[in-house]
Amino acid sequence: MDRVFVCSCFGITEQQVKQHAESGACTPRQIASACKAGTDCGSCVRRIQALLGRGAPPRGELVTRPAATADTTRLDEAA
């Protein structure tokens, strides 16, 4: 049997990460919510990202972007 551990802190295997991904978890954070993988030492987060098929994004892309649509309705109301 092929059992490859991704997260040794919580004993999470590649197979388990893939199952969570198939169930709808598409980010390392969602994987962490599902099975705690990546929430202790964090050394497995890149492997989880790789398993999710996105590779490791540059750090800047991890920052949430602000919504850019806030002012458009106000312009319509003022007219």
Question: Contact 10/40 with Cβ under 8 angstroms?
Answer: yes
Instruction: Decide if residue 33 touches ligand FES (CB under 6 A).
Output: no
Closest CA to 28 of 3, 47, 14, 10: 47
Instruction: Decide if residue 40 touches ligand FES (CB under 6 A).
Output: yes
From 21-29, 39-47, 56-64, 69-77, span contacting ligand FES (CB under 6 A): 39-47
Instruction: Decide if residue 38 touches ligand FES (CB under 6 A).
Output: yes
List Cβ neighbours of 43 (8 Å cut-off, separation of 6 or more).
none
Instruction: Decide if residue 11 touches ligand FES (CB under 6 A).
Output: no
Site of interaction with ligand FES (CB under 6 A) = 7-9, 37-44
